[in-house]
Structure 1
Amino acid sequence: MAEYSRNVPMVSCLQLNSVPVLKLNKVVSQKAFVRDVKKMSPSQQTYGVELYHSKVNQFAPVSSTALQRELWQEACQNRDLMPSTLEGQITMEKTPSYFVTNHAPKRIHTMARDIKLIIVVRNPVTRAISDYTQTLSKKPEINTFEVLAFKNRTLGLIDASWSALRIGIYALHLESWMQYFPLSQMHFVSGERLIVDPAGEMGKVQDFLGLKRIVTDKHFYFNKTKGFPCLKKPEDSSTPRCLGKSKGRTHPKIDPDVIRRLHKFYKPFNMMFYQMTGQNFEWELEEDSGSRSSQD
């Protein structure tokens, strides 16, 4: 094993004497593997090599996409990349794609099973339009939202495989996380309330993390141009920190019938999400009032 690791660097999260390493060592130490390792060309794959690959795949990431490869590398190396944390300090890492990536819950649980998770959610219809708006700013040639949202608009068949819509099926994604983490380790932030009452939502986050409520109303002011609150330090006269240029874009006008159909599509998933989290985000009230955010 030591000789083999000279040419193939060990992933940092495979700790010496851990179960994965012991099982892996058992495989690569077999005489059949040592004999067959010389025949690793595609034309000479043997049982020993096949067995090795099958075992490695149990403890290594599925490399079907660059995102998954990056996710595994991040999950394994996070502790090495993070700054040193002293007693009484908390280190945070933010990656939105974790919540909707199938392999993330298991890998993060393997890395730190006592980790606390904070998930920010908003009305999935508004979220989908915001997602589309961001893509449109980079690819103005893409189809309209109305076209992408349906497999067959005449029949009312919504394309739930479109990532902008699939991400908003929160109950589906949360189900994967609940297989590894209890709700007591999760905190859900309302994206809508974060805009209208940032101090209130941040107060709940501080409580969840076991921190003293230091961030309060005096740390925020509402930027009418952006349509979002900005963060400031009361004792600091420097320029407040607002969201970047990529935020606060005006949403394109979407056919009201499409919005209505999407609300109907998401409703059962939203109800399930409310039940799973024990929180009512009241997204149906937005549907009833016909109001929605015009900016992302």
Structure 2
Amino acid sequence: MVENFATNSGAEKNVNMRQTRKTELSDKNVNIRQTTKTELLERARRLPKALIIGFNKCGTAALRSFLSIHPDIVSPNREPRYFSNNYNQGLAWYKSQMPLSTSRQITIEKSPNYIKEIKYLRRIYDMDPQVKLLVIVRNPVTRLQSEYSHEKSKYPEMVSMSYSEWIYINHIERFVVYMSDYASEIRQAYSVFPEEQFLIVSEEDLERDPVSVIRQAETFLNLQPAVSNDVFVFNEKKGFYCFNTSHPFFLSVMDNWEVNTLTGCLVESKGREHPSYDPQLLQQVVNISLPCVQDLFRLIHKKFDWKYYNSYID
């Protein structure tokens, strides 16, 4: 009973803290796009007009959270995984998982496993052949580190396993290709939807300059620019940008389960510390993944500034 009371008390405290922050931000006199009375009355749950469909361990949570700060974007907190895991629940169930929105707003849903299977993509097409699709990719060297940190936090038996041991246990050649071959799955997605319905961005760009990526998304989604640099602050401890908790736009993500409302950063399960590479292993990973990176850049007709690969890419 004591444990339950403590848990409930903590939850209530967190809710109260969020409400206090909302009141503080609402009281600020700033130029924020106002929702009209008519729009408030017409709020309803709507099917998504855009989906973040991949890739896992590439910053999909950060992308969704950062886009959600735009006043014309709404997004469900949790991944419904409708087209992959819950398709039997039906479209009405899927709509019920979406947040309330006005007709002016775009609902964006994020489930990074959608890009994995062509049957998921065809199900999306059946719902809306015009839906916009966002894909975020990441330097394979870093994506592997992120996957290791994630698994180590999840599985107790991995506590004493080094990064090198983990990669070799997973059969390095096959595993590195699996984590690097974005092109094969993007090419599969292109067989269902036309290329112009995709926006493909890099996690590194989102980390270095989130506003520039949001600008790309605003253009892609035909939205008016609304997010400026003062919405984010660089967190020296984390080493990347977090939300500016004093900015009124922070109201948009106050209830986001992936955001710490005190720091404005993603929760601790995001942005974990990465293991270091043995130089020989690093070169091996780069050599194995390089053809996949080259294939990706050719396919999407652009290159990302990915450390370790630049000297190999024309």
How would you bin the TM-score normalised by the shorter chain?
0.5 to 0.7
Q: 1:140 to 1:251 in 2, by over 3 A?
A: farther
Q: 1:223 to 1:179 in 2, by over 3 A?
A: same
Aligned-residue offset at 1:266: 1.2
Structure 1 gaps, min length 5: 1-65, 290-296
The aligned residue for residue 158 of structure 1 is 172
The aligned residue for residue 70 of structure 1 is 85
- Give runs of aligned pairs for residues 1-296 of structure 1, distance below 5 A: 70-73=85-88, 76=91, 77-83=93-99, 85-142=101-158, 143-150=161-168, 158-160=172-174, 162=175, 166-232=178-244, 234-235=247-248, 239=262, 241-283=264-306, 285-287=307-309
Matched length: 218
- The answer (yes or no) to whether the contact 1:120–1:189 under 8 Å persists in 2 is yes
Q: 1:169 to 1:75 in 2, by over 3 A?
A: farther
Distance 1:138 1:240 in 2: 24
Aligned-residue offset at 1:149: 2.6
Aligned-residue offset at 1:234: 2.8
RMSD: 3.0
Structure 2 gaps, min length 5: 1-80, 252-261
Aligned-residue offset at 1:235: 3.8
- The answer (yes or no) to whether the contact 2:84–2:120 under 8 Å persists in 1 is no
Aligned-residue offset at 1:175: 1.4
User: Under a length normalisation based on structure 1, what TM-score does the superposition of the two structures give?
Assistant: 0.65
Q: Give, as a single letter, the amino acid of the residue that structure 1 aligns with 2:297.
A: Y
Distance 1:246 1:240 in 2: 14
Aligned to 1:92, the other structure's residue is in SS state strand
Larger radius of gyration: 1
Higher relative contact order (CA 8 A, sep 6+): 2
Aligned-residue offset at 1:84: 5.3
Q: 1:74 to 1:244 in 2, by over 3 A?
A: farther
Q: 1:234 to 1:81 in 2, by over 3 A?
A: closer
Aligned-residue offset at 1:137: 1.3
Distance 1:147 1:117 in 2: 36
